Amino acid sequence: MAKFDEKQFNPEVFRRYMTTIENPRVNRLIKAGIFVIDPSLQGVLPDGVGGNYMQENFVGRLAGSDVVYDGSTNITANTLNTYKRGLVAIGFARAFKEKDFTESITGKDFMTNVAEQLVEYQDEKHQDIMLVILKALFDSSNGVLKSKVVKKSLASLSVADIVDGLALQGDKSGNIRAIAMHSAVLSALKKANLVQAVKFLDTNGIQRDLGIYQWDSRDVIEDDSIAPAESFAKTTDVAIVSGKVYYTKSGDDYTPVATPDVSDIGDYYERTLKYPVYLLGANAFTWQPLGVKVALEMWRQPLTNGGETYLINRERYILAPYGVGFKASGMSGLAPTSAELGTATSWELVNTGGVSPVSIELKTIPLACIEFSISGI
């Protein structure tokens, strides 16, 4: 079949594209209600006026030590601390184009499809950035929340897993409202009978599942964009373990061994997948769209390829985890790249600043992580 402008085209039977391929992503994480909207930020970081970075200030809690009131002991005065958080405007743009001739030979206005899909496409990009930030915060080497990760085995789940995860929040565990995970983790939890299906009674009085699950009374957000990290390591086995997958290494590539032989076991590797499960509070992130001069526009280039139409989209927004600030030194330009947002050292806990900064307590940050590992697959 012939192809024109990335569109399948059969000149004899083709008439019109009538459907759009279903989006494989569900983007449930970005729609989970874990954001705090702060319209006041729009006036602080307008496009081309206030720049792309600001410091947000907070008043701390009263603290200090009492002295005995006995008529001879001087009373010590304490001072309120103030805390600071760096906020950065995230800005991205994208464009899509379609040739006039494509519509002429297919009878389909593909630019209409582009416009219809744009909001969902933006949701995907916002969620991708959110996951990049979460990964940086919980980075095992330099993440500011690395101490709020509990490591568990996906192969041996127990009721203690969620208990230990919530324990990372201390007496603030009640602020966790949702738990986000890959479908593989949810499937394992279902098999272990550790999650509960949310049910309802239909009009006939029959109990039915809503397709929603809860883990320890918290809503489960199932989303496969919460991808596992993959790693390989030399096996420590001295005998072939039935059912385990072994790999050989060639350069940076690993290939499964079809028929493992114990005489070669010293050259075999095992694969480990580490699935992050995020425990999220209702105010886990600040989200605020910011203005741009022209957010969405159409543009025509009538001479190129017989005529082309472009849809151009620009946006700036703040997506900031509660209790964590972005460092101005974390970006090389006027707006951070995805890689810079995903660098653990670009982030710091909200703190008092100065020579000996005092950071806020970790349990006040409504974010924690359970890392489920499974090896030999």
| Longest Cα–Cα distance in the chain | 103
Contact (Cβ atoms closer than 8 angstroms) between residue 217 and residue 179: no
What is the pLDDT at residue 9?
45
Sequential pLDDT tens for the chain (377 residues): 555 455 554 444 434 444 555 655 656 776 777 888 888 787 666 544 456 888 887 787 777 788 888 888 888 887 778 788 889 999 999 888 888 777 766 666 777 777 777 888 888 899 899 999 999 999 999 999 999 999 999 999 999 999 999 999 999 999 999 999 999 999 999 999 999 988 666 666 666 666 789 999 999 999 999 999 999 999 999 999 999 999 999 999 999 999 999 999 999 999 999 999 999 998 899 988 887 888 888 888 888 888 888 888 899 999 999 999 999 999 998 889 999 999 999 999 998 888 888 889 999 999 999 999 999 98
What is the pLDDT at residue 240?
95
- Domains in the chain and their CATH numbers? 2-7+23-61+80-375 (3.90.1690)
- For the chain, the straight-line distance linking the first and the last C-alpha, in angstroms and rounded, comes to 39
Q: Report the alpha-carbon distance of residue 23 to residue 130 in Å, rounded.
A: 19
pTM metric for this prediction: 0.83
Percentages helix, strand, coil for the chain (3-state, rounded to 5) are: 25, 35, 40
- As to burial, measured by CB atoms within 10 angstroms (0-12 exposed, 13-18 middle, 19+ buried), residue 16 is exposed
Q: Report the alpha-carbon distance of residue 31 to residue 89 in Å, rounded.
A: 21
Q: Report the alpha-carbon distance of residue 19 to residue 99 in Å, rounded.
A: 19
What is the pLDDT at residue 4?
46
How many residues would you count in the chain? Answer: 377
